[in-house]
């Protein structure tokens, strides 16, 4: 099972097109764009691997780590509009458990237009079409309503709340778990 998934995971495409977006493998040149929106954004600063104050070298480090990470376990797509990087979608794949965890962001001035939903939906579709993984899931801080909505709109269900599960700025917070099984999935980005 694990070995079969490893092979299948390697087939995730490094470029995905949707109606409005191009998703392509993150690259080192994305650091400027990532910094330009991440340094202004409270939520980005609260992500686990981000520090305060968020500096350009944090963006460089983040991009380099995502660029160098093995595609079969940690693929990261930059979200592009008109050749500008406006966000990203990443997966953390646990092939041995046949599942992948999602993370994503869109730059603040372009939010509320369905861009995250469009990008995440396309990645979820590729996971179920191109791999044998059986579950896609995400963890979210419940007050992050926009993120909760993205997960709900792509068809995920709230499965649990992990109480006091994450330390953020020295404070323990709850995390809600959202997930979708292959059996509950219908492709929705392919006619985009
Ligand atoms: C979460 C995030 C990616 C959403 O990006 P986006 O492109 O605006 O998402 P969409 O437009 O596809 O959907 C956002 C939804 O949240 C809703 N929303 C946004 N802010 C809201 C609020 N304060 N209260 C209620 N709903 C809200 C929008 O109305 C929309 O839902 P709708 O289509 O039902 O109206 C973006 O806010 C972001 O980058 N946040 C910082 C990083 C982050 O938190 N990532 C997730 C954790 S890994």
Q: How far is the CA of 42 from the centre of ligand 1 (A)?
A: 14
Give the separation between CA 63 and CA 34, rounded to whole angstroms.
Answer: 8
Beta strands 76-81 and 135-140: pairing type?
unpaired
pLDDT number for residue 48: 62
Instruction: List the chain pLDDT tens, one digit each, 192 residues.
Output: 555 555 456 589 999 999 999 999 999 999 999 999 888 887 777 666 667 788 899 999 999 999 999 999 999 999 999 999 999 999 999 999 999 999 999 999 999 999 999 999 999 999 999 999 999 999 999 999 999 999 999 999 999 999 999 988 788 999 999 999 999 998 887 655
> Which residue lies with its CA nearest to atom 12 of ligand 1?
114
Residue 114 near ligand 1, beta carbon < 6 Å:
yes
In this prediction the pTM is 0.94
From the CA of 162, how far away is ligand 1's center (Å)?
A: 21
Show the domains of the chain with their CATH numbers.
2-139 (3.40.630.30)
Give residue for tokens 């991440």. Answer: 38
Q: What is the pLDDT of residue 7?
A: 44
Instruction: Sort 92 into a burial class: Cβ within 10 Å, 0-12 / 13-18 / 19+.
Output: middle
CA of 129 to the centre of ligand 1 (A): 26
User: Strand 157-168 and strand 99-106: pairing?
Assistant: unpaired
Query: How far apart are the CA of 150 and the centre of ligand 1, in A?
Result: 6
Cis peptide before 39 (omega within 30 of 0): no
At 40 the pLDDT is 83
Ligand 1 near 18 CB (within 6 A): no
Q: Verify whether ligand 1 is closer than 6 Å to residue 147 (CB atom).
A: yes
| Structure confidence at residue 167 (pLDDT) | 85
């Amino acid at each position: 099972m694990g070995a079969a998934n490893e092979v299948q995971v390697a087939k995730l495409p490094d470029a995905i097109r949707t109606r409005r977006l191009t998703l392509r493998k993150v690259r080192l040149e994305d650091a400027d764009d990532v910094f330009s929106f991440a340094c202004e954004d409270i939520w980005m600063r609260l992500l686990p691997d981000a520090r305060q104050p968020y500096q350009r070298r944090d963006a460089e480090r983040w991009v380099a780590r995502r660029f160098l990470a093995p595609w079969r376990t940690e693929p990261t797509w930059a979200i592009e509009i008109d050749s500008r990087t406006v966000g990203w979608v990443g997966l953390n794949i646990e092939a041995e458990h046949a599942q992948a965890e999602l993370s994503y962001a869109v730059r603040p001035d372009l939010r509320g237009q369905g861009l995250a939903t469009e990008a995440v939906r396309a990645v979820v579709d590729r996971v179920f079409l191109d791999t044998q993984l059986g579950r896609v899931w995400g963890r979210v801080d419940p007050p992050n309503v926009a993120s909760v909505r993205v997960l709900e709109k792509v068809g995920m269900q709230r499965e649990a709340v992990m109480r006091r599960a994450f330390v953020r700025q020295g404070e323990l917070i709850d995390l809600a778990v959202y997930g979708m099984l292959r059996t509950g999935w219908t492709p929705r980005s392919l006619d985009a």
